[in-house]
Amino acid sequence: MGVSHAPSPDLTAPDGATPAARSIVALSGGVGGARFLRGTLSALRAGALPGVAADASVTVVANTADDWWIHGLKVCPDLDTVMYTLGGGIDVERGWGRDGETWATSEELAAYGAGPEWFGLGDRDIATHLVRTQMVEAGYPLSAVTAALCRRWEPDVELLPMTDDRVETHIAIADPEEASGRRTVHFQEYWVRMRAQVPAEAVVVVGLDRATPAPGVLEALAGADLVMLPPSNPVVSVGTILGVPGLREALREGPAPVVGVSPIIGASHVHGMARQLLDSLGVEVSAGAVARHYGARAAGGVLDGWLVADTDADQVAGVEAAGIACAAVPLLMSDDAATGRMAAAATELVLR
């Protein structure tokens, strides 16, 4: 008895149009990147991203230069923020760490005077760090550890660290008590303890020049139909990812259009502290200046398209003059629906 098959779905767009994008790569930091990805995924799965197939695969390449060791634990803040956010385990109010968190371990450590008291390590979160640390000490590369952790969270993306190598952002700050007049602190101390209140004299990403992209990163970029840069920090999130040798070239020479979303609205960074670090690079704090800092792909940079906020419409002409397609739309990620509309504007800009 014959079996009749329904005709297979036509995966190509009508004649003349570009086929729908089926594989997306995004380069992400922590809170800003994760929020963008969650809204993007909900729009994507609803078929609401112009030019993108609803079942497209998404690979997220996350920054690992914020990673550090504390109390013998390997902590990867940006990987965990993306994993928890997309896996439904994030504390939504805080934007980082686990929901339903308790803090008994940190309180006990504080009672011993065993700091640092400024770095939040919740009890549930510590379980993640324990599993990761055990696996790392057993010799597994971070990419394999991340894949193992994601088997629990099922984030609906393939989550890759930018590199398996140890890379750490350090910030040089002025210190008159030092003979050299300056002192270097780990990024976490600068960001969390000092809240970036002291001017950064330099950003030094230790180990970056010797790092290699994690397994799967270059392959994902070579097979991508679209690359997205969420509104993550251009210096210490996207900047460090692009600094992994070979990664910027893979974006520039790869087949996929690259579209980014400005993390700067007006002359400010909405949430977070991006402004302080842009100052240290000498990049003006504006949506247009960040786009020109990334540069047009056609002119040796990484961008084909860039979204600025509707209130920054005066920046569009300057971005276009630099060879980057640009549109002005609302860029506040107030909820997933608003974020999904941002993502739709981004795909529309480069995939039509």
Q: Which residues bind Ca ion (CB under 5 A)?
A: 29-30, 66, 78
Report the C-alpha gap between 261 and 345 in whole angstroms: 10
Phi, psi of 24 (to 5 degrees): -115, 140
Report if residue 315 touches ligand GDP, rule: CB under 6 A: no
* Interface region with ligand GDP, contact rule CB under 6 A, candidates 23-31, 44-52, 163-171, 214-222: 23-31
Partners of residue 327 on adjacent β-strands: 307
- Can residue 132 be called a binding residue for ligand GDP (CB under 6 A)? no
Q: 221 near 163, Cβ under 8 Å?
A: no
Could you say which of Ca ion, ligand GDP, none residue 234 binds, taking C-beta under 5 to 8 angstroms by partner kind?
none
Q: How many CB atoms lie within 10 A of CB 42?
A: 17
- Pick what 232 binds: ligand GDP, Ca ion, none; C-beta below 5 to 8 Å, kind-dependent: ligand GDP
Q: For residue 25, what are the β-bridge partners? A: 59, 227
Nearer to ligand GDP, 133 or 262 (CB): 262
**CA 237 vs CA 33, 46, 64: distances in Å:** 9, 28, 8
Residue of 50, 161, 263, 305 that binds ligand GDP (CB under 6 A): 263
Q: Does 97 bind ligand GDP (CB under 6 A)?
A: no
Q: If you write DSSP's letter for every residue of 218-269 in order, what string do you get? A: HHHHHT-SEEEE-S--TTTTHHHHHHSTTHHHHHHHSSS-EEEE-S-BTTB-
| Beta-bridge partners for 60 | 26, 159
| Residue 235: CB minimum distance to Ca ion, A | 11
347 is a site residue for ligand GDP (CB under 6 A): no
Residue 296's beta-bridge partner residues? 303
Please report whether residue 327 would count as binding ligand GDP according to CB under 6 A.
Answer: no
287 — phi, psi (to 5°)? Answer: -60, -40
| Burial track 292-308 (b if 16+ CB lie within 10 A, e otherwise) | bbbbbbeeebbbbbbbb
* Residue 125 binding target from Ca ion, ligand GDP, none, CB below 5 to 8 Å by type: none
Chosen residue from 56, 147, 185, 270 binding ligand GDP by CB under 6 A: 270
Which is closer to ligand GDP, CB of 206 or CB of 273?
Answer: 273
The answer to whether the beta carbons of residues 48 and 38 sit under 8 Å apart is no
**Per-residue mark of binding to ligand GDP, 185-224 (x: CB under 6 A):** ----------------------------------------
When binding is defined by CB under 6 A, the residue of 24, 26, 27, 30 that contacts ligand GDP is 30
Interaction of residue 301 with ligand GDP, rule CB under 6 A: no
CA 11/CA 20 separation, integer angstroms: 7
Angle between helices 123-137 and 104-111 (to 10 degrees): 80
Residue 133 binds what, of Ca ion, ligand GDP, none (CB under 5 to 8 Å, by partner type)? none
Residue 233 contacts ligand GDP per CB under 6 A: yes
Considering beta carbons, is residue 131 or 329 the nearer one to ligand GDP? 329
Q: Specify the residue for token string 């003059």.
A: 321
Q: Choose the one of ligand GDP, Ca ion, none that binds residue 31, judging by a C-beta under 5 to 8 angstroms depending on kind.
A: ligand GDP
Q: Which does 292 bind (CB under 5 to 8 A by kind): ligand GDP, Ca ion, none?
A: none
Judged by beta carbon, residue 53 or residue 244, the one nearer ligand GDP is 244
Q: If contact means CB under 5 to 8 A according to the sort of partner, which of ligand GDP, Ca ion, none does residue 39 touch?
A: none
Pairing status of strand 182-186 against strand 226-229: unpaired
- Min. distance of Cβ 267 from Ca ion in angstroms? 22
In the complex, the residues that contact ligand GDP under the rule CB under 6 A are: 28-33, 78, 81, 231-233, 237, 261-263, 265, 269-272, 274, 331-333
